[in-house]
């Protein structure tokens, strides 16, 4: 696999003009990671988001760890049920914490360092009992989408690295989890100027393998307004054996959510916004099915939802907020490319349903 270093550099470089004294406060730039163990099915999301500019802006880091029920308490883990632990916190942003090239951000409890193609990430949160330290490098084709597409009242650009080889550890209470080369690791970047509360998206990464071991990865993004009345053109990247295989666009992609029969209270990450909205009941997705086709190829992706967690993000400039619903579970795929049909079972997906 050839990793194009120039594309990787463009994708990873810090985008906020942090040294500009007139840097707008609505800038956002985040580094997003998913790690998944195909044996234990344990999964972790970590997101580090820079907001605004140094001095007046802030850093938000968010972590979710999903484990079998009973795992954290040393009880016999129930693989049929899952529970999610996590934290979200804001940290003051000073230029003293950040070296832009090569990227190195460090505070007492957070480290993100990207030097050439080597990435190191660590975070610790005493209140939740969560800490982790991982490092690694990309092993899949990076894709960079830099056109700064219109988004809400601003714009957004993004990029994807659908495969990382990571090593390290994750601490959840007294339990220590080893991260090694068998784990699947995903990374993406998002950056731009917009306000929370005026935008939304549907996103997922799906990773699955055929019986003979051939690996497939799908990454979808579709933008929407916060009422799900207007939708942007979806895009679905298809990777085979960590190389970009296909890109489906627009009307060739059908995205359908199926919903649970009764409204339920979602698990909401602790915080002020969670307290405000903690008593409401909402419809929760039970399944996501995506079909993509053109005159040559097709793919059908079926994703039953196992876990739901909600994060509520307030805007720093306006009295509005965005609901980010984190979904995960197993996945099955059927695909036909180059005239060859194949099936993957017992894969994994992680998705966001945002408004």
Q: Check which CATH number belongs to the domain holding 329 and give it.
A: 2.40.370.10
Model pLDDT, residue 128: 94
72 and 202 co-located in one domain: no
Q: Where are the alpha helices (DSSP H) in 13-145?
A: none
Q: Nearest 5°: phi and psi at 8?
A: -60, -40
193-202 pLDDT tens trace: 988 887 889 9
Model pLDDT, residue 322: 83
Name the pLDDT band for 279 (thresholds 50, 70, 90).
Answer: low
Model pLDDT, residue 255: 97
Name the pLDDT band for 5 (thresholds 50, 70, 90).
Answer: confident
d(CA 355, CA 197): 7
Whether the per-residue pLDDT at 354 is higher than 70: the answer is yes
- The string over 29-63, giving b where at least 16 C-beta atoms fall within 10 Å of a residue's C-beta and e elsewhere, is bbbbbbbbbeeebbbbbbbbbbbbbbeebebbbbb
- Stated as kind and residue range, the H or E segment containing 172 is strand 154-172
117-173 pLDDT tens trace: 999 999 999 999 999 999 999 999 999 987 677 788 888 899 999 999 999 999 999
d(CA 325, CA 266): 9
CB 105 within 8 A of CB 112: yes
Lowest mean pLDDT among 11-20, 314-323, 343-352: 314-323
The pTM for the full model equals 0.95
d(CA 37, CA 208): 12
290 and 161 co-located in one domain: no
d(CA 289, CA 13): 34
3 and 73 co-located in one domain: yes
Q: What is the DSSP string of 52-117?
A: S-TTT-EEEEEEEEEEEETTTTTSPPEEEEEEEEEEEEEEE--GGGEETTTEEEE-SSEEEEEETT
Q: Which residue has the tokens 């009992």?
A: 129
166 and 90 co-located in one domain: yes
Model pLDDT, residue 272: 57
d(CA 27, CA 17): 9
CA–CA distances in Å: residue 327 to residues 66, 95, 125, 204 = 11, 34, 23, 9
Dihedral-angle region of residue 241 (phi above 0 means left; psi in -120 to 50 means alpha; beta otherwise):
left
64 and 97 co-located in one domain: yes
Query: Which of 170, 194, 218 marks a domain boundary?
Result: 194
Model pLDDT, residue 224: 83
218-228 pLDDT tens trace: 999 998 877 77
Q: Count Cα neighbours of 322 within 13 Å in the Cβ-side half-sphere.
A: 23
131 and 219 co-located in one domain: no
Query: Which of 159, 194, 229 marks a domain boundary?
Result: 194
CB 105 within 8 A of CB 19: no
Mean pLDDT of 14-25: 94
In the chain, how many domains are there? Answer: 2
Whether the per-residue pLDDT at 274 is higher than 60: the answer is no
Query: Which of 133, 159, 194 marks a domain boundary?
Result: 194
CB 157 within 8 A of CB 188: no
d(CA 235, CA 249): 5
Percent of the chain with pLDDT over 70: 92
172 and 232 co-located in one domain: no
Model pLDDT, residue 72: 82
Count of positions (residues) in the chain: 355
Model pLDDT, residue 95: 87
CA–CA distances in Å: residue 288 to residues 254, 266, 340 = 11, 18, 25
200-213 pLDDT tens trace: 899 999 999 999 99
108 and 174 co-located in one domain: yes
Mean pLDDT of 292-321: 89
d(CA 133, CA 195): 31
328 and 206 co-located in one domain: yes
Model pLDDT, residue 78: 67
Whether the per-residue pLDDT at 278 is higher than 80: the answer is no
176, two tokens: 């220590």
188 and 260 co-located in one domain: no
Model pLDDT, residue 227: 76
The secondary structure of residue 283, as a DSSP letter, is: -
187 and 201 co-located in one domain: no
Task: Give the domain extent around 269.
Answer: 195-355
Q: Which of 4-13, 181-190, 313-322 has the highest mean pLDDT?
A: 181-190
Considering the chain, what is the average pLDDT of its residues? 91
70-99 pLDDT tens trace: 888 776 666 778 999 999 999 999 889 999
160 and 137 co-located in one domain: yes
Percent of the chain with pLDDT over 90: 71
Residue with the bigger pLDDT between 248 and 145: it is: 248
């Amino acid at each position: 696999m050839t990793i194009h270093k120039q594309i990787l550099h463009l994708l990873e470089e810090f985008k906020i003009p942090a040294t500009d004294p007139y840097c707008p406060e609505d800038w956002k730039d985040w580094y997003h990671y998913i790690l998944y163990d195909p044996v234990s099915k344990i999964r972790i999301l970590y997101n580090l988001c820079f907001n605004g500019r140094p001095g007046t802006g802030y850093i938000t880091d968010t972590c979710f760890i999903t484990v079998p029920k009973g795992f954290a308490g040393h009880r016999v883990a129930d693989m049929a049920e899952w529970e999610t632990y996590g934290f979200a916190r804001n940290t003051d942003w000073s230029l003293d914490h950040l070296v832009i090239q090569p990227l190195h951000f460090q505070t007492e409890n957070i480290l993100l360092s990207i030097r050439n193609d080597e990435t190191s990430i660590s975070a610790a949160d005493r209140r939740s009992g969560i800490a982790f330290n991982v490092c690694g490098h990309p092993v899949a084709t990076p894709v960079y989408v830099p056109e700064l597409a219109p988004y809400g009242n601003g714009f957004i650009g993004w990029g994807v690295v659908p495969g990382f080889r990571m090593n390290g550890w994750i601490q959840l209470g007294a339990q220590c989890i080893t991260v090694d080369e068998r784990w699947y690791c995903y990374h993406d970047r998002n950056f731009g100027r917009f306000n929370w509360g005026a935008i939304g998206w549907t996103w997922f990464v799906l990773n699955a393998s055929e019986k003979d071991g051939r690996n497939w990865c799908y990454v979808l993004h579709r933008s929407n307004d916060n009422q799900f009345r207007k939708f942007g053109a979806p895009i679905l990247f298809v990777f085979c054996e960590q190389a970009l295989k296909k890109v489906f666009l627009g009307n060739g992609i059908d995205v359908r959510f199926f919903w649970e029969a009764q409204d339920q209270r979602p698990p909401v990450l602790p915080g002020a916004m969670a307290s405000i909205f903690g008593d409401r009941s909402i419809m929760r997705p039970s399944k996501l099915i995506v079909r993509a086709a053109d005159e040559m190829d097709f793919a059908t992706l079926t994703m039953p939802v196992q876990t739901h967690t909600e994060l509520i993000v307030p805007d720093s400039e306006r009295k509005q907020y965005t609901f980010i619903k984190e979904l995960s579970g197993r996945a099955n795929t059927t695909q036909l490319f180059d005239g060859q049909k194949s099936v993957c079972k017992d894969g994994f997906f992680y998705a966001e349903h945002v408004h």
